[in-house]
Amino acid sequence: MESRNRWIVLIKSLRTEHGVGIADAERMALAQPEWCRWVEGQINANERCRQMALNHMRDNGGASLIIRDGDALKVRS
């Protein structure tokens, strides 16, 4: 839970610092290898996170931050 709270604080601070929306803040955060690994772990191990990732993929199509690699989900590089 602590990492989830840190993720939320990170996204909020990036939005404030750079004046960007949620998607751009998430893109910035995922450029950091440690957050990229954390998100990949969450979307592959936590069913709620996986469902949110699948919804994100459906809603954003080719602009999605997440891709499917076989049965695994990965952050688009």
Domain ranges within the chain, ordered by starting residue: 2-75
The whole-model pTM stands at 0.88
8-63: per-residue pLDDT in tens? 999 999 999 999 999 999 999 999 999 999 999 999 999 999 999 999 999 999 99
- 18-53 in b/e form (b: 16+ CB < 10 A) is eeeeeeebbebbbeeeebbebbbebbeeeeebeeeb
From 39, 35, 47, 33, select the one nearest 10 (Cα to Cα).
35
Q: Would you tell me how many other CB atoms lie within 10 Å of the CB of residue 73?
A: 20
59-68: per-residue pLDDT in tens? 999 999 999 9
Amino acid identity for residue 77 in this structure: S
